[in-house]
Structure 1
């Protein structure tokens, strides 16, 4: 019998118990198989269907998918709504006019009588819907098709971009959606993970401290430190990894001498305390680790003579300096993001029972025995490692008596089969055995920054894009990485710790008691505490009262009076808005009342305070945040700033943050990437290419020109309205039916599409050199209601010219035969020809980047128009379809008249003259950044060529700042305990090492 949880949608958790032969066995996530899973390295297995149909986890996760829309989509929808309202008003006006006309004129003219005795109002009602049908071309339905085609083409260009191709892994960029491309040009905030995104996530064992002695710095025979020593020769070790490199020869000599027991115990711990899986491939050991940190540590132990060889369900075998030893595994206490440590309990061949433990310094130091040695020396070494961009883990052990272990094993068995709160029960049992530990030392692993990260951040900052780094690492880690990647600079004033809580509480007091009082220098100290359930909890008292884990955050900024004034204005607007939430609750009378959860008013106020202050800073770094908290931070900015956000990550712990943002970029780098990540967004390979993506693909001018051109062409089609109004003809259009049908498909679509796909105001190099070119799109200056109405009025003016100039010419002009060709069909041909020339010339004036394809498209569109027009006006097609093609011979007769060609030239010239004049004025008197770059393009290109010639290579410089942390992905403990082996899993989130032991405990917990 199996007792398990009810059906749910959690893919990362399963709790159950199997009753078999009067015994109980725990069932968890590692016993569960989802649809599509495959098993390897397993001869046979037994399965049982627990849930079926709609109760399966896969089906319960198949809920509604949230479709993301861009700001341009929203504006375009409002634009269509506006055009539709205008259409309804125009048709209503025409229907009313037609009603009055029929009462005054139509009903009295016998030759207009249609034999239907209908009232004037009923005729007006029918006329309204008839005008809706006739003037339906005003609604730009084809605009949506054009925009989607352009987006599809832009996505292909992203996929084909060689600048974003990662040659080492043969990985091109991949756009996972076609609906978000233009938002690359509107980003205001970037939220980035640290490990694997800013860093390479490729770990290398660099240094260690063992029993108070530090190893890792290269030195000569005399002990003088060297900048770069000769790598250690590991040929004496037949199991050594050839790729492993170490510079301190003294550590190898110490191990090979076998005199220092602490050193031998140190590497024995590394080879035993882990959840690494091993495979034999071509007589070589291949390790599969749940995190790159763990793989690096086991590989280091392997090279120093302590080789992990194999493991079974209850044993682990290693080679200790060429001597094979097998240890019995009694218990494996796996890692999770709350514990920040893992332990293994082993029975040695001589019968001794020992616990080995490794984890974050804060959790380890809390559990050390008072008799443990080397605590202060190890802490000093940890601080030194932090200044060298190294990630640290503390190692310790504990000897356990048989009686103590037997008593603990019973508790562990009971907790492992508990149905309710199994994880909490196991954690309590783990706490009992992981106490009074003895310190051995600490490891230091290097995780280098990705190439081009500082340059990328500098470019993004110049483009006025604010960068927030959200990481689960500790505060020192985040700060040092911030300096390494130039997110933080020496001219910034940095504030962190618990002071921001006091600032925000003080701000609350000021806003509640005296609305007119101004908060004096709100930037004196800044920090953040984010609660798991309350999202943003910024009060020290609340942080003390609540038992929820919190995370600490620090932000950096430059002080300025303008920022304070701007914040004061925002604060007044915020107070007015928060009045809708109700009055602030009264102060608590007792400490018990103060411990109650804060209400919606308090949460809303603190959230707004945090967002407003953080968004005034130049950079924000949130440390010790969980995946859920990352998503909450992004949600706050989206909610209160209405800004376009971009999330960048590379692993499963970033999924919540990535899915919450408007735009997502998944970086394929290092070892942490989860190939089964199901987020939708562009995928690329390195952090450096993110800058290229934004600089090369940020120009949304082409797409916006298409939209504005669509509204321009909508207004042009008002010629039908003028024709109906002028001649008082119901349901009669100014153009031929076939012209209206083919206009969007054949005559005007190709040039517009090519502008949207190919047009660029500057080339790629200049766009990277001048990040300020990004600002117009970010500020919404390229497409808004102002530009829409300008384009609409421009179209109305053009339609007036296209209609009334040919109309006036037909009234006052005489043909070659002495007769005035005042027929409707000739007028329609002239108007249509003028429209085709005007539209194609208009799009030509808006084109900044000319190619052969653009020229061909414009000329081809005009040629296709005349070719089709002469064909459908020919006598031959009229004979075959007499009722369909009624403009027989009109084109050849009308265009034979020279004055009609002069009319077309005059019409086109008058319509384009204002456009030419306005463009001239803007480019000469009010030039934009793009106009100035275009004007000096050749100069900048020559400077670029000279720089490339003068600097063939640039030597990098190691940052003096650093960081330390460790990976916090769940290991293979449950698999090992179950005796099964599966394929390598993708690494998950990194652990959140706590702050140093000198800091307050409240700031250390998650």
Structure 2
């Protein structure tokens, strides 16, 4: 069942639970008998004052769906005018009326494309050249059209740049074409529309307009935001699936307008004089303010509309056939307005590579300046400076960005097909290397460390408690009480009242399909409670909008059916932390308010007792999620007074939800009779304990952030192994002011080997006054648990670590809607694809199916991604440095001439055809096996220091490049005879072979792709030696002289490095070598 936000005490649900039978029973046909005297103009004027309307909703709303999926504005709306969002009044069969008849509403077309045929090339080029390096190479290439500073053929510079741009253009074109096909399919979907004469006509989704009455069949996508007028279910229940809107997989209940639902057939709708008013478009999918006015025989009937009466676009009809009137289309639908541009995350490796590239650019300027000074500062010094900058531009690797992007895509593909972590999805392919450098892992509890599979474990009635081994006794008491054998105030009768309250106070709906019964609810806690009552003899037999029936097993084996009328439902929200229902027993006509919720809110509503707080703490220590259940009988006068006040609050347009909540609180939530306390167990996920141990040994500090109470959080931390036996657990006391915070932080500072437990209230106070100190002390703890933590606080903790512990990387993992802000704030967000909801999974950078998979994701794939990208980056930079070193020596030898050593095709093919494949093949290399990476998690700890790519390793590779470049160039100059073309042949051949040998020396585990890359590159170069007569002397390159000289130079450039590496591996082996 969908889990938007988890209750601190186990009653998990979401504000979207307004889809339940909330107020449905009190919104009957009689609601429309109220006289409607205000004019349409008064209606609009009143609504303009609606406080719920967001000021931002008046801003321009371009194609948000395009922005989210494409990263920029849709081509169709690139030059569109500012659109002011309007409320609207539509008449059934006629469309917008009054002043709205002249308003042009958004077309119902889906446009997720980033480009059109005219904007494609300009926009892609702009996106590429906004990066400094690409712009730098563009300027270098363009400079080749200036004769005074031209260096060889223009293809020397345009070739690599063109290769990079071609790859980008092909990728963008393919992605946009896929988006176009998807958009075309959605826009072409066929729906049925009711005409004024009541007949059905077929219409495309893209042609649907505001005011159309459309028919949506089961399992079909809702094409626009519609007010529900009618369903095929006699009870008026219409279930929808909202997983594509809010990520929740539970079915939501929607209620049609009672008046139109009771019409004999759908064609009668078109004969009504019916007007629907809808507020201006906004983002909130859990709220809607509207009214409906029906004129019948000169009398006006009106009623309020809320979110329960609306089907949002991109939801799916899950039961029956729905008929609705369209109120919002296209960019004004809730679906599109909530699709925003996600923050683009940049990995630490990319930042480090960018800094090294800046150093290379400075090196180019310095080297060029030195060359000009050595040549002599004459009147044309600036021309020579430009020429030298062009000659040494290969130091800056233009292909580095493309190589890294292609490597990231390969990593994502490789992770996705790992059979050991099935169904893993990479949603952000730009930061896989971040997984290899995680220092902090912030985890949710419910559904992440635990399974979110609830099992009823305990019920406490104040004087006695029953655990799972005594539930049979509970069933006997309940059956006896229903059989009428015991006194009304006996213990069995009290137990009966408690069980009946649990069986009635919920939003569970039984679904009967294929002879089997399943339960639909917004919380697995509620399903667990209902299933438990069934085991003790009280089964939820049926439920619709207006009634509920219980099937009770009697001691004689017979079944008693009890019927209850549902008068009101007050759904659970994360703000109220409780839910309630008013039911009427049709046998006795007794009206009762039933409520359940967190002890923190219910303790102030129930009558005085001396056991609730203590037993709540006891159950929490057992790791159980607690709920307090209470009741309150209502007299006829009390019910009538409440109905009047509640109806008046429902009819208000401004602050409707708050007004309704105030009425409930003022008139009902006082002096409730405490019935029982329930305890539900959420079991740990498989292999959680071993996974946490592995991660801790890998040097990752694990924090648990939960909304549960302190005792429950500590119990789970101990049972999961988050707290070790040697840890000194320090629990923050009550912190209300700055002095309290100062004292608690000082107490923490004096302790060592501390596992910290901090309530959310204490965290708020401490961060307000001592933010930096909190970061310092908390990060020194071995483990941290934050309880009673709100979603905003979870994100705040992530930001705290990012601010005070940079450049350490923070990962966050969760499974619910209340984890989304934390996941999005982290450097690497990991979502668990839970059965109850997909919000966290969809918002995360990486999606897995269970917590234990995070070990392989980090310790294996994260490590491999980081190590491989480091090696790839250094080789790409080495490739440019070595050839630039040779160019510098060549210029020095020939009197600082600004003449290119290699011309045309050789320069283009050097970084593409001859060396690209071997260098890129390093992405399949691995220094240890996956098994060893998991067996020795200490290998992961070394990566946090960033030693695989640092200024130290950069300097080492610069020295290697200088040495090899000098050996190859001087060696070629020393051994050539008379023809300069022989210098080119020998030096370039030695350069290519040296690159291939260096790649081979770096490889730890040979893969068939590596061998193929080496063979293809070497074969292609040997063919080039024969074909390119203008660069190579064919007779010379086929002689033993050429082969011997090239071999000798290559040996001198590579052999010393090989010897050094072998000695280092023998006397000071790296950790991975020791493991192997």
Category of TM-score, reference length = shorter chain: 0.7 to 0.9
Instruction: Say whether the 8 Å CA contact 1:826–1:891 is kept in structure 2.
Output: no
Aligned to 1:250: 473
Q: Cα RMSD (Å) of the superposition?
A: 2.9
Instruction: Say whether the 8 Å CA contact 1:159–1:175 is kept in structure 2.
Output: yes
Cα shift at 1:722? 1.9
Tell me: CA distance 1:618–1:383, structure 2 relative to 1, closer, same or farther (3 Å): same
1:686 alignment partner, one of 850, 853, 872? 850
Instruction: Say whether the 8 Å CA contact 1:188–1:645 is kept in structure 2.
Output: yes
Q: Deviation string for 1:638-658 (max 9, x for gaps)?
A: 122112111111122211111
Aligned to 1:190: 441
Tell me: CA distance 1:826–1:184, structure 2 relative to 1, closer, same or farther (3 Å): same
2:1043 alignment partner, one of 883, 890, 901? 901
Tell me: CA distance 1:613–1:27, structure 2 relative to 1, closer, same or farther (3 Å): farther
Q: Deviation string for 1:782-817 (max 9, x for gaps)?
A: 11122112212221121111111111222xxxxxxx
Aligned to 2:567: 330
CA distance in 2, matches of 1:149, 1:624: 43
Aligned to 2:356: 79
| 1:799 maps onto 2:1022 in alignment | no
Tell me: CA distance 1:677–1:521, structure 2 relative to 1, closer, same or farther (3 Å): closer
Cα shift at 1:527? 5.9
Instruction: Say whether the 8 Å CA contact 1:196–1:672 is kept in structure 2.
Output: no
What are the within-5 Å matches in structure 2 for residues 411-422 of structure 1?
411-422=645-656
CA distance in 1, matches of 2:1050, 2:361: 28
Aligned to 2:189: none
1:11 alignment partner, one of 270, 284, 292? 284
2:346 alignment partner, one of 69, 78, 81? 69
Q: Tell me the SS of whatever aligns to 2:539.
A: strand
What are the within-5 Å matches in structure 2 for residues 395-474 of structure 1?
395-432=629-666, 433-474=668-709
Residue range with higher mean Cα deviation, 73-82 or 407-416: 407-416
Tell me: CA distance 1:834–1:508, structure 2 relative to 1, closer, same or farther (3 Å): farther
**Normalization by structure 1: what TM-score?**
0.73
1:648 alignment partner, one of 784, 809, 813? 813
2:366 alignment partner, one of 76, 89, 102? 89
CA distance in 2, matches of 1:358, 1:449: 25
Q: Tell me the SS of whatever aligns to 1:443.
A: strand
Residue range with higher mean Cα deviation, 55-64 or 269-278: 55-64
What are the within-5 Å matches in structure 2 for residues 854-869 of structure 1?
854-869=1010-1025
Instruction: Say whether the 8 Å CA contact 2:729–2:757 is kept in structure 1.
Output: no
Aligned to 1:201: 452
Tell me: CA distance 1:40–1:459, structure 2 relative to 1, closer, same or farther (3 Å): closer
Cα shift at 1:525? 11
CA distance in 1, matches of 2:965, 2:949: 22
| 1:39 maps onto 2:317 in alignment | yes
CA distance in 1, matches of 2:375, 2:324: 81
Cα shift at 1:253? 2.5
Aligned to 1:927: 1069
Instruction: Say whether the 8 Å CA contact 2:374–2:896 is kept in structure 1.
Output: no
Q: Tell me the SS of whatever aligns to 1:865.
A: helix
| 1:163 maps onto 2:420 in alignment | yes
Tell me: CA distance 1:195–1:621, structure 2 relative to 1, closer, same or farther (3 Å): same
| 1:271 maps onto 2:503 in alignment | yes
CA distance in 1, matches of 2:1018, 2:915: 9
Instruction: Say whether the 8 Å CA contact 1:500–1:528 is kept in structure 2.
Output: no
Instruction: Say whether the 8 Å CA contact 2:760–2:790 is kept in structure 1.
Output: no
What are the within-5 Å matches in structure 2 for residues 640-719 of structure 1?
640-642=804-806, 643-669=808-834, 671-674=835-838, 678-699=842-863, 700-718=866-884, 719=886
2:789 alignment partner, one of 621, 625, 648? 625
CA distance in 1, matches of 2:630, 2:419: 49
What are the within-5 Å matches in structure 2 for residues 521-920 of structure 1?
528=758, 530=760, 537-538=764-765, 603=768, 606-642=770-806, 643-669=808-834, 671-674=835-838, 678-699=842-863, 700-718=866-884, 719-728=886-895, 730-756=897-923, 758-810=924-976, 821-873=977-1029, 886-887=1030-1031, 890-898=1033-1041, 900-920=1042-1062
CA distance in 1, matches of 2:845, 2:754: 39
CA distance in 2, matches of 1:524, 1:280: 53
Q: Tell me the SS of whatever aligns to 1:862.
A: helix
| 1:174 maps onto 2:428 in alignment | no
CA distance in 2, matches of 1:431, 1:33: 29
Instruction: Say whether the 8 Å CA contact 1:631–1:657 is kept in structure 2.
Output: yes
Alignment length, in residue pairs? 778
Residue range with higher mean Cα deviation, 424-433 or 54-63: 54-63
Cα shift at 1:675? 6.1
Instruction: Say whether the 8 Å CA contact 1:13–1:28 is kept in structure 2.
Output: no
CA distance in 2, matches of 1:648, 1:524: 23
CA distance in 1, matches of 2:661, 2:628: 20
Cα shift at 1:150? 1.5
Tell me: CA distance 1:384–1:46, structure 2 relative to 1, closer, same or farther (3 Å): same
Tell me: CA distance 1:248–1:317, structure 2 relative to 1, closer, same or farther (3 Å): closer
Q: Tell me the SS of whatever aligns to 1:678.
A: helix
Aligned to 2:100: none
Tell me: CA distance 1:458–1:348, structure 2 relative to 1, closer, same or farther (3 Å): same
Instruction: Say whether the 8 Å CA contact 1:390–1:444 is kept in structure 2.
Output: yes
CA distance in 2, matches of 1:327, 1:730: 98
CA distance in 1, matches of 2:843, 2:756: 33
1:348 alignment partner, one of 579, 585, 593? 585
Aligned to 1:244: none
CA distance in 1, matches of 2:739, 2:967: 61
CA distance in 2, matches of 1:503, 1:653: 29
Q: Deviation string for 1:834-886 (max 9, x for gaps)?
A: 1112111111111111233323332332222112221223xxxxxxxxxxxx2
Aligned to 2:607: 369
Cα shift at 1:443? 2.1
CA distance in 1, matches of 2:757, 2:1006: 51
Instruction: Say whether the 8 Å CA contact 1:200–1:450 is kept in structure 2.
Output: yes
Q: Deviation string for 1:282-306 (max 9, x for gaps)?
A: 2332210101000111122233332
**Normalization by structure 2: what TM-score?**
0.68
Higher RCO (C-alpha under 8 Å, 6+ residues apart): 1
1:360 alignment partner, one of 576, 580, 598? 598
Q: What residue ranges of structure 2 are gaps of 5+ in the alignment? A: 1-42, 58-281, 295-299, 487-491, 554-558
Aligned to 1:169: none
Q: Tell me the SS of whatever aligns to 1:255.
A: helix
CA distance in 1, matches of 2:973, 2:1001: 27
| 1:483 maps onto 2:706 in alignment | no
Tell me: CA distance 1:848–1:668, structure 2 relative to 1, closer, same or farther (3 Å): same
Tell me: CA distance 1:635–1:481, structure 2 relative to 1, closer, same or farther (3 Å): same
Tell me: CA distance 1:828–1:892, structure 2 relative to 1, closer, same or farther (3 Å): same
CA distance in 1, matches of 2:1038, 2:324: 85
CA distance in 1, matches of 2:597, 2:315: 32
CA distance in 2, matches of 1:826, 1:682: 54
Tell me: CA distance 1:380–1:94, structure 2 relative to 1, closer, same or farther (3 Å): closer
CA distance in 2, matches of 1:274, 1:611: 42
Cα shift at 1:752? 1.8
